[in-house]
Amino acid sequence: MADPMIKKRIAILGPGAIGGFMASVLWKAGHEVVCIAKPEIVLHIRAHGIALQSNAFGSLVAWPRAVEALDTKPDIIFITTKAIGFEDAIQRIAVDHAAHAVIIPLLNGIEHMAVLRNRFGDRVIAGSIGIEVRHLASGVVEHLTKHARITLAADNAILAKKIPDIVALLIKAEIEMFVAENEAQLLWGKLVRLNALACMTAATGKSIGEIRNDAILRKNLELLVKEASEVAVAEGARINPGVVMEELDRLEATQRSSLYRDRMAGKELEVDAIAGAIVRAGAKHGILCPTILIYLKNLVEVIS
C-alpha cells in the first residue's frame, strides 16, 4: 500500500453519517469503494448513490458499490456503524473476505476493539474521527465541520508499519491525519472528551458554547472530564483533565454531539458504549464515577 495514487479496494460497513462521508470522499479520490448495509439501504445507494453536502469537500453524489454482505477481499475495511447493532453488523463481513484487509473502526467507545479482534484477529488498527456529520436521510449526508480528522494507532509492530501508507492514502483524499503514540492514548483521549460533550449536550439539549457559559453546567462538564480521566489513567493513558477542558473550550460554540441528535430524533442512544464503558472500566480499578453514572442513568431512562 505504498503509493497513495494507486486505487485501493475499500469497504465501508455502515454507510450512515460517518460511513457515508467516508464512502463519498474515498470514491471521489478514485478508490474502489463498496458499502455494506441493510437491504433497504443497499437498494437506495444503488438507485440514488450517496449525496454529500459539505463546505469543505463540496457537494457531490458518490456512486460506491453497495452489497448486503461483503463479496470481495478489500485492502481496507472501515467499520462505521453505531455501537447499537454493531455486533450483528460485523456478521456481514465473512472472516475469509477480511483475511488480507486492515480493519479500522471509527466507532465511539473502547469495547468494540476486543470484539473485532476476537472475530478478525490481529488486523485491527485503532482509529477515531473528529468530525460533525448528520445523516439527513437514507443516502444523504451533511458535513458540518470545516475539516475531517482521523487519528490512528497500533500497538502491534507489524500493523504499525502499515499506518504510514494509510495516512498517505487518506491525506490524498483531503482528510487530516494524525498518529497517536499508542492505542490507549488514542481511544481514551477521545472517549474522555466525547463522554463529556455527548452526555452534556444530550442531557441538556444545549450546545457546547451554552454549556461553557453556564457556571453550573460547566462545573458538571469538568466533573465528567475529571472522573473519566481518572479511569483513563488507570487504563494506561496519559490524560490531563485541564488539557481536555482546553480542547472542549476550543470547539465551535454551536457544536453538539451525535448523541444529542439521536435523542432529538427519538432514536436509541449509544450512551452505554460511551458513559457505560467508562463506568465498567472504572469498576475494574475500584474507581467510582458518580457524575458519569448520574448522566448515564438519566439518559438510559430517556431510552426506556
Percent of the chain with pLDDT over 90: 88
Contact between residue 244 and residue 222 where contact means Cβ atoms under 8 Å apart:
no
- Contacts (Cβ under 8 Å, ≥6 apart) of 163: 125, 152, 153, 154, 179
Residue 298 in this model has a pLDDT that exceeds 70: yes
Contact between residue 34 and residue 66 where contact means Cβ atoms under 8 Å apart:
yes
pLDDT of residue 152: 98
For residues 232 and 217, give the distance between their C-alpha atoms in angstroms, rounded to a whole number: 23
For the chain, the three-class secondary structure string (H helix, E strand, C coil) is CCCCCCCCEEEEECCCHHHHHHHHHHHHCCCEEEEECCHHHHHHHHHHCEEEEECCCCCEEECCEEECCCCCCCCEEEECCCCCCHHHHHHHCCHHHHCCCEEEECCCCCCHHHHHHHHHCCCECEEEEECCEEEEECCEEEECCCCCEEEEECCCHHHHCCHHHHHHHHHHCCCEEEECCCHHHHHHHHHHHHHHHHHHHHHHCCCHHHHHCCHHHHHHHHHHHHHHHHHHHHCCCCCCHHHHHHHHHHCCCCCCCHHHHHHHCCCCCCHHHHHHHHHHHHHHCCCCCHHHHHHHHHHHHHHC
Residue-wise pLDDT for 203-256, tens only, equals 999 999 999 999 999 999 999 999 999 999 999 999 999 999 999 999 989 999
- Contacts (Cβ under 8 Å, ≥6 apart) of 118: none
145 or 302, which is more confident: 145
CA atoms within 13 A on the CB side of 93: 30
- Contacts (Cβ under 8 Å, ≥6 apart) of 45: 15, 35, 37, 64, 66, 139
For residues 148 and 143, give the distance between their C-alpha atoms in angstroms, rounded to a whole number: 9
pLDDT of residue 21: 96
Contact between residue 51 and residue 140 where contact means Cβ atoms under 8 Å apart:
yes
Give the model's confidence band at 2: pLDDT under 50 very low, under 70 low, under 90 confident, else very high. very low
Contact between residue 232 and residue 191 where contact means Cβ atoms under 8 Å apart:
yes
| pTM of the model as a whole | 0.92
List residues bridging with 76 in a β-sheet.
10, 102
> 232-262 burial, b for 16+ CB within 10 Å, e for fewer?
bbebebebebeebbeebeebeeebbbbbbbb
pLDDT of residue 304: 45
In whole numbers, what is the pLDDT of the chain averaged over residues?
94
